[in-house]
């Protein structure tokens, strides 16, 4: 457990640093143990620094306590050095990514390795020794977990489990086949004398075969991400590469043990133990991962109040799952994969949206960084005289066998699988799967871990591994894309989410379950529905926040996404045009064009006349174009005037906080200036204003009761079917005719009310917004008595220009909300009491807009 | 083949069914067994009650619709051949057969699968999915998770996505078009019927 504690300590310290620091942790720990210190000192700068400080101890006034700080000093230097060292590749990656036309031909991984060659050459030229190598410790403990965690966390679970059978067959049987066939064939070739005099026994060949067997997830991700093959093919290759790591590591350990034991001592019992250990290691690792995944889910369920650190949990616990599995000598890779896969759903549901994004980006950043470092170091490692032991026969035969047996294995296994698959894998898919068997850093890391004492030809093996890695990553990587094009492999379709599609998919699932029920079979769908039932009723209940449980349906998710997209588009458009007005304006215009019934124009005109105040009757002839024009003009004028008006009012009457823009620094919260007292005070003030306005309204103007009543009735009509607009119009057209000529304020406001009600605004307070004050022509800020009340009503006034007809509004359902919120934004600090009191009170009389002067 | 052909005799017009649906005789036999199992009174046809007796269907939010799909309008019984014809919608498409250039469209073609799905929506069978029909489906599937208003706006949006001719309803062509990218063959197929 000590190791665990260490790891946790260092991890907590550095988990939020960028990934470039992560290798340092390893060195730091090691530095404590004092074993790798040589490595850090080997660089010039460190040595000189060391020299300086030890010379300086003679000065009496300022004593340098070098030994006191030695460790941390070195650590710090290491950090800087390592940062430089790692930032360089990262910067290079930026450069590479900037040139997209390069990466479209050559995959990044290949470019990075080539860059590693150059970098290694430079180091070689400067130092004449190989300073930097990718040590297995750094690779397995600090670079690999991030990449794998990212892969697991972003795994498309449904796809994965649908194809789990195929993936497992390829990962387990395929890998064993690769290892055995390669080892045996090489041994056979040596027996046949194909590669001269080599001191390698059968077991050692098998060991070599096992480390070469695994398809490398890092390399596969790097290449396939850029090729965009179809989902099923991708998940087959990717899933296999993830899961077979467990197999490889187990195989490697078993053969390693066998090699140590020596040939004669191996009996049936040992072999059986080896097989048992394989299952224990694989399933144990997965279980550890699942356990940690559940733990993460549980933790995020109750981190509502510490949102700042909740993303950290995922990294810390994910990493811990890796370390724990490693500590128990279970499969660490499987552990972290399943940890990520298990927690993803609940984490996304439980955490705040910001945290989810943070996790996503941090995860990608870590993974990308690690990936870059891994590939560059694979390149750098090549520039080392020691490892280059050439044996043409061995190397070429290995390359050949690796490729050939991969093809044979994939085709044979797929042939078997296709007899059971619903949609068989096609021939071209199989070719790509075989060709996608890239070897990578895992193989290299394992090769470096070989014990030189037991295996005499270690360097040859390392060298061969490197060549195989280069061959597969660079050559196969580069040719992958042309091959995919040439074979016309089905590519991943760029999908646009659509609600109907999602709904129909859901329906398909239910249908299939039902059909399986009817035809009396227990198939995939049946199992899936059972699992889903269990998941929804038990797992979610335990692992998810109650609030998140309600909206976990994907359909809602899609709906939310679509709405968000709309809103974003509107904002962008608004910013382009300078304001969001166009939403109101444009829609009303389009709408007028669409609806050319005289009735609607009647109302339009009424509306305009309303805006004009006095000239209600004169502009009543229903010529579409004219009224449109005028309407727009007036609207503009209204808006400008309104804006000035609003600013003035807000300036004068909004609550001015005494501590303006007091940005409070807080480690755990982002929000600023949310003093409870302040909010309280604002609330009270607003309430007082409301009360005043209420009394003044009651005493003074008394809006007719009918308005409220009508509007409410209307709303009820509107709710059940969305198209009550017409009904509303017809039902009120009579009144309109009779009252229209009177041109009183009430009438107009009444008509507006009906109109707006049709437009779907639920809040009755938004409706009547004209009052006798209109006729007095007093600028609002002069009418002292009415001011306070108008402050609130102003927001309603601003709503005049909302999209006008029901069809439009329904379309802009999300927008309606956003308009309202824009409004509340204008009146920033007024709490949401409008709804409350306006339901009961007659609406406060709004100010009279000043623009009449221009028209009268 | 000998044993199966002898037991095949008890299935009425087996050969014709095989031609029409593409099922093999083994499949037909299996389905016939199931049919007899569902037909508890040995009447030779199934009524809606027989379907409702199937355990899982009661829990299925669209179980009722699926049952309805088996009964062509006006009838309240389904015999074995109709039963098989409905199930044939869910047979996976096999590429080889299509290449032979079959004279008639098999029920497991893409269009037929889609048509089946469409009919699950289209309760009044007027060839259009109206807003109300969509709402009902949504209500069944989303259940109590959401408010009625949300359901309405979702339905509204879904209709607008697909509705090309602006008649406020989704016709079959529009339905087909909006599901163009969906891999129907995979999603409307069941393994054992292969």
The length of chain A in residues reads 856
Neighbour tally for B181: CB within 10 Å: 12
Q: What is the pLDDT of residues A514-545, one digit of tens each?
A: 777 777 776 677 777 778 777 777 777 777 77
Residue corresponding to tokens 């955490």: A351
CB contact under 8 A, A507 and B137: yes
CB contact under 8 A, B66 and A525: no
Domains of chain B by residue range: 13-89, 107-187
Which pLDDT does position A749 carry in this prediction?
Answer: 41
Which pLDDT does position A412 carry in this prediction?
Answer: 92
* Chain A residue with Cα closest to B163: A500
Please give the Cα distance from A88 to A95 (Å, whole number): 11
| Chosen from A508, A527, A531 to mutate, greatest number of chain B CBs within 10 A | A508
End-to-end CA distance of chain A: 86
> For A511, which of B31, B62, B150 is closest by C-beta distance?
B62
Please give the Cα distance from A206 to A458 (Å, whole number): 14
Residue corresponding to tokens 């209307």: A714
Annotation: CATH topology of B107-187: Recoverin; domain 1 (1.10.238)
| Chosen from A425, A497, A499, A563 to mutate, greatest number of chain B CBs within 10 A | A499
Average pLDDT over residues B7-26: 71
Please give the Cα distance from A663 to A661 (Å, whole number): 6
Q: Which of A560, A537, A503 is nearest to B62 (CA)?
A: A503
CA A100 to chain centre: 23
Q: What is the DSSP string of B16-52?
A: HHHHHH---HHHHHHHHHHHHHH-TT--SEE-HHHHH
* Min Cα–Cα distance to chain B from A389, Å: 52
End-to-end CA distance of chain B: 18
Please give the Cα distance from A330 to A250 (Å, whole number): 9
* Min Cα–Cα distance to chain B from A508, Å: 6
CA dihedral sign of residues A498, A503, A507, A510:
positive
Which segments in chain A show pLDDT lower than 50? Answer: 1-59, 588-632, 660, 702-776, 780, 782-856
Q: Do residues A552 and A540 lie in contact, with contact meaning Cβ atoms separated by under 8 Å?
A: yes
Residue corresponding to tokens 């059972």: A530
Give me the interface pTM, i.e. the ipTM: 0.85
Averaged pLDDT of chain B: 74
Phi-psi region of A201 (alpha: psi -120 to 50; beta: other; left: phi over 0): beta
> For A504, which of B179, B192, B193 is closest by C-beta distance?
B179
| Chosen from A495, A514, A524 to mutate, greatest number of chain B CBs within 10 A | A514
User: How far from B100 is each of A813, B65, B96, B193, B194, CA to CA, in Å?
Assistant: 51, 35, 7, 20, 18
The answer to whether the B13-89 and B107-187 domains have the same CATH topology is: yes
The enclosing H or E element of B2 equals helix B2-8
* Chain B residue with Cα closest to A806: B156
Residue corresponding to tokens 């061995």: A394
pLDDT tier at B122, thresholds 50, 70, 90: confident
CB contact under 8 A, A512 and B142: no
Q: Do residues A756 and A604 lie in contact, with contact meaning Cβ atoms separated by under 8 Å?
A: no
CB contact under 8 A, A521 and B61: no
Residue corresponding to tokens 């010039």: A44
Q: Which two tokens stand for residue B125?
A: 């069978």
User: How far from B24 is each of A276, A805, B1, B21, B33, CA to CA, in Å?
Assistant: 43, 58, 11, 9, 14
Residue A491 phi, psi dihedral angles, 5° rounding:
-95, 165
Please give the Cα distance from A266 to A45 (Å, whole number): 52
> For A811, which of B134, B160, B162 is closest by C-beta distance?
B160
Q: For the ranges A321-330, A732-741, B61-70, B117-126, which has the lowest average pLDDT?
A: A732-741
CB contact under 8 A, A512 and B190: yes
Task: Tell me the β-bridge partners of A491.
Answer: A229
Q: Is B171 strand, coil or helix?
A: strand
Q: Is A425 strand, coil or helix?
A: coil
CB contact under 8 A, B192 and A529: no
Q: Is B78 strand, coil or helix?
A: strand
Alpha helices in A657-744 (DSSP H): 676-696, 705-718, 724-740
Q: What is the pLDDT of residues A241-263, one digit of tens each?
A: 888 877 887 788 888 888 887 76
Q: Do residues B107 and B98 lie in contact, with contact meaning Cβ atoms separated by under 8 Å?
A: no
Q: Do residues A18 and A31 lie in contact, with contact meaning Cβ atoms separated by under 8 Å?
A: no
DSSP A720: T
CA dihedral sign of residues A562, A564, A568, A570:
positive
* Chain A residue with Cα closest to B154: A559
DSSP A846: P
Neighbour tally for A266: CB within 10 Å: 15
Which architecture characterizes domain B13-89 according to CATH?
A: Orthogonal Bundle (1.10)
Please give the Cα distance from B36 to B47 (Å, whole number): 13
| Chosen from B140, B164, B192, B194 to mutate, greatest number of chain A CBs within 10 A | B192
CB contact under 8 A, B117 and A551: no
Q: Do residues A550 and B145 lie in contact, with contact meaning Cβ atoms separated by under 8 Å?
A: yes
Residue B123 has pLDDT above 50, yes or no: yes
Residue numbers in B near A533 (CB within 8 A):
59
Q: Which two tokens stand for residue A573?
A: 């458009």
CB contact under 8 A, B90 and A515: yes
Please give the Cα distance from A220 to A440 (Å, whole number): 9
CB contact under 8 A, B117 and A520: no
Residue numbers in B near A551 (CB within 8 A):
145-146
Q: Which two tokens stand for residue B68?
A: 């309805």
Residue numbers in A near B117 (CB within 8 A):
504, 507-508, 511
pLDDT tier at B99, thresholds 50, 70, 90: very low
């Amino acid at each position: 457990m000590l190791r665990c504690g260490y790891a946790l300590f260092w991890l907590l310290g550095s988990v939020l640093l960028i990934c470039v620091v992560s290798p340092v942790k390893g060195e730091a720990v090691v530095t404590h143990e004092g074993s790798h210190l040589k490595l850090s000192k080997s660089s010039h700068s460190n040595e000189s620094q060391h020299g300086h400080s030890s010379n300086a101890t003679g000065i009496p006034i300022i004593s340098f306590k070098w030994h006191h700080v030695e460790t941390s000093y070195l650590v710090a230097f290491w950090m800087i050095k390592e940062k430089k060292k790692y930032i360089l590749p990262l910067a290079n990656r930026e450069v590479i990514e900037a040139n997209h036309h390069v990466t479209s031909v050559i995959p990044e991984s290949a470019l990075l390795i080539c860059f590693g060659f150059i970098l290694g050459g430079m180091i070689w030229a400067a130092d004449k020794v190989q300073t930097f190598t990718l040590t297995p410790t750094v690779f397995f403990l600090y670079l690999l977990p991030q990449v794998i965690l990212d892969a697991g966390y972003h795994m498309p679970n449904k796809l994965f489990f649908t194809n789990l059978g195929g993936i497992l067959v390829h990962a387990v049987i395929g890998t064993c086949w690769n290892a055995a066939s390669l080892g045996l064939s090489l041994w056979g070739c040596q027996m046949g004398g194909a590669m001269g005099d080599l001191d390698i026994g059968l077991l050692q060949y098998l060991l070599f075969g096992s480390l070469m067997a695994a398809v490398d997830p890092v390399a596969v991700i790097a290449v396939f991400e850029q090729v965009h093959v179809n989902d099923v093919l991708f998940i087959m290759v990717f899933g296999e590469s993830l899961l077979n790591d467990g197999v490889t590591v187990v195989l490697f350990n078993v053969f390693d043990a066998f090699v140590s034991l020596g040939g004669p001592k191996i009996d049936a019992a040992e072999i059986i133990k080896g097989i048992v250990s394989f299952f224990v290691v694989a399933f144990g690792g997965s279980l550890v991962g699942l356990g940690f995944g559940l733990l993460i889910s549980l933790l995020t369920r109750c981190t509502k109040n510490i949102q700042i650190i909740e993303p950290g949990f995922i990294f810390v616990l994910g990493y811990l799952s890796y370390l724990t599995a490693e500590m128990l000598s279970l499969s660490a890779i499987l552990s972290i994969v399943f940890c990520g896969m298990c927690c993803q759903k609940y984490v996304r549901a439980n955490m705040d949206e910001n945290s989810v994004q943070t996790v996503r980006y941090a995860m990608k950043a870590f993974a990308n960084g690690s990936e870059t470092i891994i590939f560059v170091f694979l390149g750098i490692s090549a520039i080392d005289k020691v490892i280059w032991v050439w044996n043409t026969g061995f190397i070429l035969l290995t390359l050949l066998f690796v490729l050939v047996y991969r093809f044979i294995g994939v085709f044979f296994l797929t042939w078997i699988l296709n007899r059971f698959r619903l949609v068989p894998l096609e021939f071209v898919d199989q070719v790509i799967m075989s060709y996608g068997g890239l070897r990578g850093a895992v193989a290299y890391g394992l090769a470096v871990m070989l014990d030189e004492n037991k295996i005499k030809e270690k360097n040859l093996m390392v060298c061969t591994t490197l060549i195989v890695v280069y061959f597969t990553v660079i050559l196969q990587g580069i040719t992958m894309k042309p091959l995919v094009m040439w074979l016309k492999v089905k590519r991943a379709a760029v999908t646009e989410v659509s609600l109907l599609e999602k709904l129909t998919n859901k329906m398909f699932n239910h249908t299939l379950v039902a059909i399986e029920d009817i035809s009396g079979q227990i198939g995939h769908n049946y199992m899936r529905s059972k699992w889903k039932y269990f998941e929804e009723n038990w797992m979610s209940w335990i692992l998810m926040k109650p609030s998140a449980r309600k909206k976990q349906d994907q359909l809602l998710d899609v709906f939310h996404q679509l709405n968000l997209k709309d809103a974003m588009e509107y904002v962008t458009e608004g910013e382009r045009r300078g304001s969001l007005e166009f939403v109101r304006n444009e829609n009303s215009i389009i709408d007028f064009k669409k609806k050319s019934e005289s009735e609607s124009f009647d109302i339009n005109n009424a509306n305009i006349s309303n805006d004009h105040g006095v000239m209600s009757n004169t502009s009543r002839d229903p010529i579409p174009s004219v009224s449109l024009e005028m309407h727009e003009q007036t609207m503009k004028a209204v808006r400008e005037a309104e804006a000035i008006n609003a600013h003035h009012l807000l300036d004068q009457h909004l609550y001015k906080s005494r501590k303006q823009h007091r940005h409070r620094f807080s480690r755990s919260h982002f929000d600023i200036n949310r003093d409870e007292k302040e909010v309280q005070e604002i609330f009270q003030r607003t309430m007082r204003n409301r009360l005043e306005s209420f009394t003044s309204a009651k005493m003074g103007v008394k809006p007719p009761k009918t308005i409220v009543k009508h509007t409410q009735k209307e709303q009820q009509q509107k709710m059940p079917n969305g198209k009550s607009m017409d009904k509303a119009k017809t039902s009120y057209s009579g009144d309109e005719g009779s009252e229209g000529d009177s041109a009183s304020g009430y009438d107009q406001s009444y008509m507006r009310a009906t109109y707006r009600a049709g437009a779907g605004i639920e809040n009755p307070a938004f409706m009547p917004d004209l009052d006798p004050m209109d006729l007095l022509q007093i600028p609002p800020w002069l009418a002292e008595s009415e001011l306070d009340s108008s402050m609130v009503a102003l927001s309603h006034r601003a709503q005049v220009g909302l999209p006008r007809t029901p069809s439009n509004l329904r379309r802009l359902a999300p927008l309606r909300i956003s308009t309202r919120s824009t409004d509340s934004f204008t009146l920033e600090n007024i709490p949401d009491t409008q709804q409350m009191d306006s339901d009961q009170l007659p609406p406060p009389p709004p100010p009279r807009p000043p623009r009449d002067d221009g028209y009268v | 083949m000998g044993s199966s052909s002898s037991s095949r005799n008890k299935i009425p017009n087996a050969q014709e069914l095989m031609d029409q649906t593409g099922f093999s005789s083994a499949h037909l036999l299996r389905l016939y067994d199931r049919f007899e199992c569902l037909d508890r009174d040995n009447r030779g046809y199934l009524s809606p009650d027989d379907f409702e007796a199937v355990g899982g269907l009661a829990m299925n939010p669209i179980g009722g619709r699926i049952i309805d799909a088996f009964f062509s309008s006006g009838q309240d019984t389904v015999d074995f051949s109709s039963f098989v014809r409905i199930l044939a919608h869910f047979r996976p498409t096999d590429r080889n057969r299509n290449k032979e250039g079959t004279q008639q469209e098999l029920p497991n073609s893409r269009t037929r699968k889609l048509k089946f799905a469409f009919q699950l929506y289209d309760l009044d069978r007027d060839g259009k999915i109206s807003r109300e029909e969509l709402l009902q489906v949504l209500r069944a599937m989303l259940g109590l998770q959401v408010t009625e208003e949300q359901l309405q706006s979702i339905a509204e949006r879904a209709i607008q996505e697909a509705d090309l001719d602006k008649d406020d309803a989704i016709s079959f062509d529009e339905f087909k078009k909006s599901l163009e990218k969906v891999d129907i063959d995979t999603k409307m197929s069941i393994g054992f019927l292969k």
